[in-house]
Structure 1
Amino acid sequence: MRRLLGAAVAAAAMTLTGCVGAADGDDRPHIVVTTNILGDVVTKTVGDTARVTTLMRPNADPHSFEISAREAAMMRDADLLVSNGLGLEEGLQRHLDKAAEAGVETYVAGEQIDVLDYAEGDSAGTPDPHFWTDPARMREVVDGLEAVAKDVDGVDDRAVEQAAAAYRTELEELDQEMTDSFASIPEQHRSLVTNHHVFGYLAERFGFRVVGAIIPGGTTLAAPSAADLRDLTEAIEQAGVPTIFAESSQPDRLIQVLADEAGVDVGVSELFTESLTEKGRGAETYLTMMRANTERITSGLSEPTD
């Protein structure tokens, strides 16, 4: 009985360790990734030739999540450290800086793409880090990641090439699916309102207009004023949007208040925007997240049927 109990405890410990690392004895190169969206993309891109540790838990906020001392040490010991960049990981930046100072090989995904600046709000003129809403830019991230991963000692170049090629094909298929789906939305309804500014890249890629956001900046750490809500209410009324969107990782209280304040018949739909979910919760991978959001945006903004 004691032997069985000991085995069960050991198995449980290995399961917990797997949340932020790999079991002892895995001598593959170690890639540490900050956000869970990038963690999934990195895993798909490098295949089984490296072990990938994702620091950000499901449903967490990339702007504010924190890590343990052990995880910080893991960042400094990584063979490759992958981050989003462009100011997204606000609560993690000091650890990223220390790892870079320690000589850790880093890959900043935001440095691989054509960056957009926020057009309005408190963050106007600063880089927008939410590039993953455009699958074409994510293909560019995969291109750069493939190149840097192949330079890591112990990585099988051929395995990375095959995995990256297969994943690029999936991203191309996703891009086409989104293009076809969004084409069905009437032009007068191609406007987006969300909790905070997160869809600039999607809007540029697929021809949407961003009416505004509840939180005026590019971070969920900001807060709207009464004037912000009043101005956005007027914009919603003028645009006549049928649906406004709340993020799954953030409480939707503010967006519900705005829907009530607008005094118009407007729906509220939940999107997965800045974090993946646990398995079975609708957005366990980047591809499933984007497909779910595409369906919900298309449904929310399409012409109502009588």
Structure 2
Amino acid sequence: MKDWTRRSVLLGLGGSVIAAAVPARASDGPLKVVATTGMIADAARTVGGEFVNVTALMGPGVDPHSYRQTRSDILAMTRADLTLYHGLYLEAQMEEFLDTLAEERRVVAVAESIPSDRLIAHDEYKNQFDPHVWMDPELWIIVVEAVRDALISIVPQLEIDFRANASAHIAEIRELHDYSKAVLSSVPESSRTLVTSHDAFSYFGRAYGYEVMGVQGISTQSEAGLTRVADLVSLLVERDISAIFVESSVSDRNIKALIEGAAARNHKVHIGGHLFSDAMGPEGTYEGTYIGMIDHNVTTIANALGGEAPERGMRGLLSLNL
């Protein structure tokens, strides 16, 4: 690779266009990329391949809605060639810092590349959208393409490599989407109701024809009131729903309240499984990749709600002890 000179580029941030100066890279080694979430880091590693060194700020079980940057995070981002974050107000506590960082460094909000007419509007806030777009593989393809374009903008010499890697990954995501449609459609229509800890699965519901209900709102920072819990208990009893789901990055306190409330009305509800919502599975595992994360969720939901899916998922790689 050749050295890059200091140049001005256009960055899409928060729907606006910002002129920013991008410092020259200090070496010809792998690009230093920082990604806020594990899902974005996975896309960057897959598309960038051997040409990138990716650091993920948020690991397994970390809630991006409440995450605040640490001193080491700040150091990593200020030294990075590229910082990728989700946007759509997912990293709500980091927004101010990321906006400031974008004045000096290359920063891209990759989920904001999705056309607004394909996003789900927030129930309470005007011009705000549900950020959980990774739950719909077809939308996640757009994010992968945004990651690819961000890498190309820094190292145009590697465009062929980045495009080839992205195309291969997109083919995997499409295979995942086809698998998801097949196994989720095996669930009886009357059972296609998904009750989880918070509203992270609306895009999933829209993509696959499921009614989705979260105890908490879109953000885990919202509180579940007694009325909401009581309403969901009534729904569980009236619809004879027997399986509800815990999320890996959200407390199970409200889910336990639903189970106890249903039991008080002589209706037995059990936990149908643990789902990955705002973070992926353990590092180094299949579930610690985007493909494995969604495969786990889809397979778990289908089997718990009366459908048919292979016990170990699309590729036979799912762990049995998660």
Structure 1 position 166 matched with structure 2 position 168: yes
Distance 2:157 2:300 in 1: 39
> How far did residue 66 of structure 1 move?
2.8
Q: 2:269 corresponds to which letter in structure 1? A: V
1:186 to 172, 185, 188: 188
Q: Deviations over 1:134-158 (max 9, x none)?
A: 0111111112222221111376212
Contact 1:80 1:104 in 2 (8 A): yes
Q: 1:112 to 1:270 in 2, by over 3 A?
A: same
Tell me which residue corresponds to 1:239.
239
Tell me which residue corresponds to 2:268.
265
Tell me which residue corresponds to 2:177.
175
Q: What secondary structure does 1:62 align onto?
A: coil
Q: 1:155 to 1:83 in 2, by over 3 A?
A: farther
Q: Counterparts in 2 of 1:198-277, with a 5 A limit?
A: 198-210=200-212, 212-215=213-216, 217-262=217-262, 263=265, 264-268=267-271, 269-277=273-281
Contact 1:31 1:80 in 2 (8 A): yes
> How far did residue 28 of structure 1 move?
2.1
Contact 2:40 2:86 in 1 (8 A): yes
Tell me which residue corresponds to 2:138.
136
> How far did residue 287 of structure 1 move?
0.8
The number of equivalent residue pairs is 277
Q: 2:132 corresponds to which letter in structure 1? A: H
Contact 2:229 2:257 in 1 (8 A): no
Distance 2:151 2:103 in 1: 20
Distance 2:157 2:59 in 1: 26
Distance 2:53 2:243 in 1: 41
> How far did residue 117 of structure 1 move?
1.6
Tell me which residue corresponds to 1:296.
300
Tell me which residue corresponds to 2:101.
99
Q: Counterparts in 2 of 1:136-155, with a 5 A limit?
A: 136-153=138-155
Distance 2:228 2:278 in 1: 23
Q: What secondary structure does 1:101 align onto?
A: coil
> How far did residue 109 of structure 1 move?
1.8
1:27 to 22, 29, 34: 29
Distance 2:97 2:281 in 1: 24
Return the TM-score normalized by structure 1.
0.83
Q: Percent identity of the aligned residues?
A: 28
Distance 2:195 2:179 in 1: 22
Q: 1:213 corresponds to which letter in structure 2? A: G
Contact 1:35 1:55 in 2 (8 A): yes
Contact 1:49 1:155 in 2 (8 A): no
Higher strand share: 2
Tell me which residue corresponds to 2:64.
62
> How far did residue 103 of structure 1 move?
4.5
1:88 to 81, 90, 106: 90
Distance 2:72 2:27 in 1: 18
Tell me which residue corresponds to 1:76.
78
Tell me which residue corresponds to 1:37.
39
Distance 1:244 1:124 in 2: 30
Tell me which residue corresponds to 2:314.
none
Contact 2:110 2:147 in 1 (8 A): no
Distance 2:32 2:129 in 1: 29
Distance 2:60 2:30 in 1: 25
Q: Deviations over 1:217-237 (max 9, x none)?
A: 211112111112112222223
Q: Deviations over 1:244-299 (max 9, x none)?
A: 11101222122012112023222212111111232466621111111111111001
Q: 1:155 to 1:247 in 2, by over 3 A?
A: farther
Question: Where does the alignment leave 5 or more consecutive residues of structure 1 unmatched?
Answer: 1-23
Q: 1:180 corresponds to which letter in structure 2? A: A
Q: 1:97 to 1:206 in 2, by over 3 A?
A: same
2:110 to 108, 111, 126: 108
Distance 1:46 1:66 in 2: 26
Q: 2:184 corresponds to which letter in structure 1? A: F
Deviates more, 1:273-282 or 1:50-59: 273-282
Contact 1:33 1:55 in 2 (8 A): yes
Q: Deviations over 1:14-44 (max 9, x none)?
A: xxxxxxxxxx987222221111111112211
RMSD across aligned positions (CA): 2.3
Q: 1:302 to 1:190 in 2, by over 3 A?
A: same
